[in-house]
């Protein structure tokens, strides 16, 4: 079974630009979550999608957005990039369903550097 695939693995962008990151979940998983990981803050939850609907959202500004497609693949977009957006962005998929606790499977992440 293929794991969670994130593309690209590395990205360098300039302040003010926008970026789109992609995540392909494990086949059959309908829940996809996005996290920002920085050395000081640890894993910070961005948002979660289930069946193309945003189920939960973290405390990030509106510059951070996401979506999920009918095949469960997900994208996240960051507009007007700031230096502080430099981080590892992790995607996790799970076979989550209502009222069920499930393990999250992580991708390798996209390391975004904003210069």
Q: Which is nearer to another protein, 28 or 99 (CB)?
A: 99
**Positive/negative CA dihedral, 52, 63, 56, 92:** positive
Please state, as a whole number, how many other Cβ atoms lie within 10 Å of the Cβ of residue 13: 16
Choose among 50, 56, 55: nearest CA to 68: 50
Nearest distance, CB of residue 19 and another protein, angstroms? 20
Asked whether the beta carbons of 1 and 90 are under 8 A apart, the reply is no
Binding-site string for another protein from residue 45 to residue 84, where x marks contact by CB under 8 A and - marks none: x--x-------x----------------------------
Q: Which is nearer to another protein, 56 or 71 (CB)?
A: 56
Note the residues at the interface with another protein (CB under 8 A): 4, 33, 35, 40-45, 48, 56, 90, 96, 98-101, 103-109
């Amino acid at each position: 079974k293929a794991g969670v695939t994130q593309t690209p693995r590395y990205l360098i962008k300039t302040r003010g630009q926008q970026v789109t990151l992609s995540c392909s979940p494990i086949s059959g998983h309908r829940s996809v979550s996005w996290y920002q990981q920085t050395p000081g803050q640890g894993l910070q939850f961005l948002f979660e999608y289930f069946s193309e609907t945003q189920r939960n959202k973290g405390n990030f500004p509106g510059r951070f957005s996401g979506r999920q497609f009918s095949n469960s693949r997900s994208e996240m977009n960051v507009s007007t990039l700031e230096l502080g957006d430099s981080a590892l962005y992790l995607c996790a998929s799970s076979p989550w369903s209502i009222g069920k606790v499930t393990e999250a499977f992580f991708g390798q992440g996209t390391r975004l550097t904003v210069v």
